[in-house]
Structure 1
């Protein structure tokens, strides 16, 4: 069984080629530019790992993994436009470099080309893979809309937030694994547990991401600590604090969210500390990680084949960046 790092290198070798025609260069160069920025490429490699969990990796897995990576980058281009973000991975975003109209088209064509790659796989897999891919793409868009809706609401329930994270983040992680498992010949029971492993891991990953925004080392995390607090972004920690605060702390927290105090981040973190939200977030992350492991344990393959997924899961939820 291969480590994530080894499979990531194999995928990079396969993926780092031109995916679009030469003309019109004003459109296709924007897409190539964004793909050239790089990224962790967790989702496509999870597809390869899902395949290798059950059988030797087949060439079709690289086609599906490429489609997954193109889809993910399509969502990032559009997310950056919606967020009016100037940078992505410390480089200018596509809309900053090429303009919003070209960025929209670059994202759109990236999604179209993703489906072109799906059509390259063996005919017996096309229907199942494309159905799952399309369902997942729709769910990710639903999650993004819910995320935007929540920005306009004063109060968001924890169950609502978890559902949004499932759609926006977890389902693509889960579907990447399941698509790989399908190509590896897994049965429906194993595919169910593989999907649930990914879904729970995706939620744990987001809890860690929210935690790092408040408590991470900026030198490792790559961005200013407390950015979500400054932006009043609803996260696991803020929603829990709003739900569990007493009357006095709730009033203080709402006042801080409504204002722009110079020490806003420090004051909000102080309230989080008083409410033990940081410890709660750690426990929540462990809950979803344990759920992920429970489903991985249920998959009917020898334990040694699961080790790369176990190690990757541990890394993703304990990372400091």
Structure 2
């Protein structure tokens, strides 16, 4: 049995228990559609893992975990709209099936439904968790805007990119673990350490996601091959290539990233530069570095080493995601 199966089953059962039967059906059908696809549901699983790490009651963490999952899917719907993405998890995206307006409304409603899941918490814990949740939502929006800005910027730095993915991706993983820890009664110090563990795991996860956009199996990833190149996204692959390219290669990258086109010559030309500058190995090394930083924060948490095994396996799983 995969170490994640237990948690995935708990989350899947909870999602099914909260399936929407409300009206108008045109609003709720898309919400059921995206929630049913599931994905790996890593963020709500992190809530449960952190709760269990500190000997908390998983029943107390179910609704906050669902809040994270609902919120995450809200961001995916809106992200797909902004990217005009046709596929998500190898299925048609919400706006493709139901239209742009319904996509916006159903995403917004998932966000409000997410807030409802915190209402059962005791007042002090409610305030702590809601602050983390709301602050995370704000920085995710900021990260998304940075991501949009990068498409038209010519001077995006490595640090700019790390800040963007920390906000857009790392912050939600970090918040998920911190909320789970607080629900279990963890100390503020331990909650902060697990937050930083989650932040760096999230950074590693996003770098790997960027890597898989080019080097992953399209069917397994469930996205259009090299979609980030088509969209001129200044991912770590592009920035690494730019840093190690010669003048001729930089000029070619500038040329291709000045056009948003489905021309296969663009993909071929950019991937050729990626190969020459050894982007693949350099980016995987960066994934490893952030995973190691995450483990250093995990070591600081004051619980028995054997209790950390599930989170160690999580870090390894994210580092070795299937191509």
C-alpha offsets along residues 15-46 of structure 1, whole Å, 9 cap, x if unaligned? 21244452222222222222122221100010
Contact 2:15 2:35 survives alignment (8 Å): no
Moved more, 220-229 or 207-216: 220-229
TM-score by length of 2: 0.93
Structure 2 SS opposite 1:10: helix
Q: Determine the C-alpha separation between the residues in 2 that align with 1:230 and 1:30.
A: 27
C-alpha offsets along residues 40-98 of structure 1, whole Å, 9 cap, x if unaligned? 11000100001011114342200100111111111111112212222222322222222
Contact 1:139 1:171 survives alignment (8 Å): yes
Q: Determine the C-alpha separation between the residues in 1 that align with 2:186 and 2:177.
A: 11
Change in CA separation of 1:216 and 1:102 when aligned onto 2, cut-off 3 Å: closer
Mapping for residues 111-126 of structure 1, pairs under 5 Å: 111-126=111-126
- 1:308 alignment partner in structure 2: 310
C-alpha offsets along residues 121-151 of structure 1, whole Å, 9 cap, x if unaligned? 2333111011111111111111111111111
Q: Determine the C-alpha separation between the residues in 2 that align with 1:279 and 1:205.
A: 16
Contact 2:88 2:223 survives alignment (8 Å): no
- 1:299 alignment partner in structure 2: 301
Return the offset for 1:219: 4.3
Q: Determine the C-alpha separation between the residues in 1 that align with 2:88 and 2:155.
A: 29
Q: Determine the C-alpha separation between the residues in 1 that align with 2:113 and 2:225.
A: 36
Contact 1:18 1:32 survives alignment (8 Å): no
Q: Determine the C-alpha separation between the residues in 1 that align with 2:52 and 2:107.
A: 30
Mapping for residues 1-321 of structure 1, pairs under 5 Å: 3-20=3-20, 22-258=22-258, 262-321=264-323
Contact 1:213 1:228 survives alignment (8 Å): yes
Structure 2 SS opposite 1:319: coil
C-alpha offsets along residues 189-241 of structure 1, whole Å, 9 cap, x if unaligned? 11111001000111111111112222223343334443322332211010122
Return the offset for 1:178: 0.4
Q: Determine the C-alpha separation between the residues in 2 that align with 1:91 and 1:277.
A: 29
The runs of at least 4 aligned residues of structure 1 exceeding 6 Å deviation read none
Aligned Cα root-mean-square deviation (Å): 1.9
Runs (5+) with no aligned partner, structure 1? none
Runs (5+) with no aligned partner, structure 2? none
Contact 1:256 1:264 survives alignment (8 Å): yes
TM-score by length of 1: 0.93
Matched residues, number: 320
Q: Determine the C-alpha separation between the residues in 2 that align with 1:294 and 1:282.
A: 19
Q: Determine the C-alpha separation between the residues in 2 that align with 1:138 and 1:123.
A: 22
